[in-house]
Amino acid sequence: MLKILGYPDRYSVAPGEEISFHISLEEGDRYDARVVRVINGDCNPAGPGLNLPHLPSGVDGQYRGVPRRVDAGSYFVAADFPALASYPAFSFRALIWPTLPERPCQVLVAQWDAAAQCGFKLMIDDGRLLLIVGDGRGRIGREELAVRMLERKWYVVTLTIDLAEQRFRLGQSALQADFGVQDSGSRGGALPLAVGYTEGGVYLAGAPQADGTVGEHFNGKIEGPALLDGEWDQPALAAMTANPLPSALSPHVISAWNFSEAINSVRVADIGPSRRHGQLVNLPARGMKGSNWTGEHHSFQAAPAQYGAIHFHEDDVYDADWPADIVWSVPDDLASGAYALHLCCGETGPEAMRESYIPFFIRPPRTKAAGTKRPKVAFLAPTCAYMAYANHAGHIITPGVEAMMGRLLHFGHQDVYLYDHPEIGYSLYDKHADGSGICYSSRLRPVLNCAPRYHSWLGGDGSSLYQYNADTHLLGWLAHYGIEYDVITDEDLHHDGYELIKDYRVILTGSHPEYHSTAMWDAMKAWLDRGGRLMYMGGNGWYWRIAFHDEIAGVIEVRRAEDGIRSWEAEPGEYYHSFSGEYGGLWRRCGRPPNLMMGIGFVAQGFDVSSFYRRTSDADDPRAAFIFEGVPDEIIGDFGLVGGGAAGIELDCINPALGSPPNILRLASSEGHSPLMLLVNEEFTSTLPNLGGDQNQRVRADLTFMETAAGGAIFSTGSIAWCGSLPWQGYENNVSRITLNTLRRFMDDRAFG
């Protein structure tokens, strides 16, 4: 089991700025910390070996630590609310769409003091509507409906409490009646005891707990919640909508929250007279279609009134909100690069891992000093992909994943910790407990699979590296050949745009730059159109469109819309990003296939073994002579640390129909792939029997080169496994030589063409 873990407050920090680290110590009370430079994070003895040199700094030392936990689960709170028990009578109504109605104790609305056991909670318990009241003297009363709710069905739920008469009424009305199903009803009577007076906030989808956390989370959608003074019958409450308010009820509204306003925000507007606006915690899903969605419009911007629902989950998480344990002021003169905070609380053994690495990048200074120059080369760290795969738990929670991988999977200490602590949150490839897809992912929490030394279940046989740690193969290669470079991250590119990259001659990608925002796409295309030189060092790049939040940091959104390799599908009508209002899904479906960016695009996926490339006649074109200088080999990359070859995991190839330009050279193509290397589903329109690499000639990676009209050039490898072959035999091999030849020519100021 993992005994120490943590996260940084940012992935990218500039010289002269501060970065903080937030740490949980699971064993003992002290740990050691130091900063290391990340050059190679692969422990595989077949490679060059782990290379994480210590960087002496003011961080070095021993610290006290304590175990910390994440308070997962999303909810709404309107703070500083007057005590509802001060009204002679009050009523509540909302539309709900429960997704796990059989779960116990799921709060819909509450004003509750857990320590004093005072106030009320309206909740679902084993499918039934349940009212809990507490008098503040240690006594609890319960009243519930006999009828049960069904999963993923809309209901109007109502509650009236008459404190003057000490009576209550519960109501539940299904919006659609189903033959033979009795899931509507109401019940009233005397309150079992007085409702205690508490002035705490009003909560939706959760309630305060005695330990200071918020729990008892609701799973499902809530729409149009409202509180009114007075006692109202169920038909009147059921007919009420959030906006506009019926004129007869408007004077009696205490609060009515409209979830269809400011969908790109974590704020919720109270459209009642008191304007007690609320806040969303842990990012429940917005832009969700409501009970009145007609299917005519698919964007919340076109029909906001039909998107008045928010989907809450018991396992939503945004910010772990741990205090900062270590704060480091980065020296003004520290070189850009990949770094990590190394934590150690004892010796690691078979039963426990007592060290951890928290990665971060030092970017170039935000302002270039007069007379200084940037290096010619920048590495674009694909931090959006790191966030998308953060704590990817497919091997833990998905049945049958071994069949896809073609081998048995191992569990490391980090995997076991993730299994035992799902509250730290999963990835954009996983599903919530209720089966809905996770569409938001944050870096403000422990991300266990983004670290040096981590072995990934997706990483191919051999080193088993994927994403962050696989990219250290490229970092080690750059260090071996003494290439000076800066590191910029996806977030840097999103926020700073073209101005950030305009001075670099060459940009190298990571092995899997899959996720890009519109701002990132536009900045990179502008740089290429002005003569930039791109070395696309991986596969499956520029695939999914994502959005960043405008108000809160460190979180991205994906909507897995129509088409593409995806582990879940967005609900119809929910294909647009709530953060930006943009249509989600594949960039290819948005009219910007990856072929327009780097000449090739995603075509096949398989995780068992990697293969090799065979040189083509285009390699003899004089335009490509510099690439193959000193490389006469016909077979390229029949070796490597990721799957045993340079062509594997995910492959890209030329496709003129998707924008591959006519001047592109296909220098080499992979072959000999296994039946588990499968054509991706956007590449066919009907089910075919020959999808595997052993039968389908379209299953291949293309190694390509092309010049651009502005004197720039693009070199694309078309394989996630390519970088895993760079370190083979001490970096002396044909994959390394081809890459080095290309980089040196790309660094040359001479224009192409």
Task: Give 67-118 pLDDT, tens digit per residue.
Answer: 999 999 999 999 989 999 999 999 999 999 999 999 999 999 999 999 999 9
Instruction: State yes or no: pLDDT of 289 exceeds 60.
Output: yes
Distances in whole angstroms, Cα of residue 14 to Cα of each of 18, 428, 508: 8, 28, 20
Q: Are 457 and 394 in contact (CB under 8 A)?
A: yes
Give every strand in the sheet of 18-25, ordered side by side: 4-8, 18-25, 326-329
Of all residues in the chain, what percent carry a pLDDT higher than 90?
88
* pLDDT at residue 242 in the model: 45
Which among 716, 698, 586, 606 is positioned nearest to 650, based on CA atoms? 606
CB neighbour list of residue 80: distance below 8 Å, 6 or more residues apart: 199, 201, 276
Rounded Cα gap, residues 713 and 137, in angstroms: 76
Answer whether CATH 3.40.640.10 is correct for domain 75-312: no
Rounded Cα gap, residues 25 and 20, in angstroms: 16
What residues are paired with 37 via a beta bridge? Answer: 339
* pLDDT at residue 87 in the model: 93
The mean pLDDT of the chain is 95
* pLDDT at residue 244 in the model: 57
3-state secondary structure of 608: strand
Q: Are 539 and 650 in contact (CB under 8 A)?
A: yes
The radius of gyration of the chain's CA atoms, rounded to the nearest angstrom, is 28
Q: Is the dihedral of CA 7, 462, 703, 476 positive or negative?
A: positive
Domain definitions of the chain by residue range: 4-70+326-362, 75-312, 377-747
629 residue type, one letter: E
Residue 639: both structure tokens together: 């070796």
CB neighbour list of residue 730: distance below 8 Å, 6 or more residues apart: 48
Residue 271: both structure tokens together: 């459209």
3-state secondary structure of 566: coil
Q: Are 583 and 576 in contact (CB under 8 A)?
A: yes
The pLDDT of 377-386, averaged and rounded, is: 98
Q: Are 348 and 414 in contact (CB under 8 A)?
A: no
Of 31-45, 162-176, 221-235, 485-499, least confident by mean pLDDT is: 221-235
The pLDDT of 692-707, averaged and rounded, is: 94
Q: Are 201 and 80 in contact (CB under 8 A)?
A: yes
Give every strand in the sheet of 515-516, ordered side by side: 515-516, 544-545, 585-586
Rounded Cα gap, residues 662 and 297, in angstroms: 39
As a three-state string, the secondary structure of 215-272 is ECCCCEEEEEEEEEECCCCHHHHHCCCCCCCCCCCHHHEEEEEECCCCCCCCEEEECC
Rounded Cα gap, residues 554 and 185, in angstroms: 45
CATH number of 4-70+326-362: 2.60.40
Phi, psi of 689 (to 5 degrees): -85, -10
Instruction: State yes or no: pLDDT of 565 exceeds 60.
Output: yes
HSE-up (13 A, CA, CB side) for residue 247: 0
Which among 394, 568, 375 is positioned nearest to 485, based on CA atoms? 375
Rounded Cα gap, residues 11 and 417, in angstroms: 22
State how far Cα 195 lies from the chain centre: 42
CB neighbour list of residue 498: distance below 8 Å, 6 or more residues apart: 522, 523, 526, 527
Distances in whole angstroms, Cα of residue 114 to Cα of each of 136, 198, 432, 611: 9, 10, 27, 60
Q: Are 720 and 675 in contact (CB under 8 A)?
A: no
* pLDDT at residue 52 in the model: 98
Phi, psi of 654 (to 5 degrees): -70, 140
CB neighbour list of residue 212: distance below 8 Å, 6 or more residues apart: none
Rounded Cα gap, residues 384 and 547, in angstroms: 10
Residue 551: both structure tokens together: 């108000």
Which among 211, 201, 204 is positioned nearest to 71, based on CA atoms? 211
In which residue are the tokens 């308010």 written?
A: 245
Rounded Cα gap, residues 386 and 172, in angstroms: 44
How is the chain split among helix, strand and coil, in percent rounded to 5? 15, 30, 50
Residue 475 exposed, middle or buried by CB count within 10 Å (0-12, 13-18, 19+)? buried
Q: Are 367 and 332 in contact (CB under 8 A)?
A: no
Q: Are 461 and 643 in contact (CB under 8 A)?
A: yes
Phi, psi of 473 (to 5 degrees): -60, -40
* Count of Cβ atoms closer than 10 Å to residue 706 Cβ: 23
State how far Cα 390 lies from the chain centre: 6
Rounded Cα gap, residues 447 and 7, in angstroms: 7
Which among 461, 506, 460, 513 is positioned nearest to 486, based on CA atoms? 506
Of all residues in the chain, what percent carry a pLDDT higher than 70?
99
* pLDDT at residue 460 in the model: 85
The pLDDT of 331-355, averaged and rounded, is: 96
Rounded Cα gap, residues 392 and 21, in angstroms: 22
* pLDDT at residue 63 in the model: 98
DSSP letter for 85, please. Answer: G
Question: What separation, in Å, do the N-terminal and C-terminal C-alpha atoms of the chain show?
Answer: 56
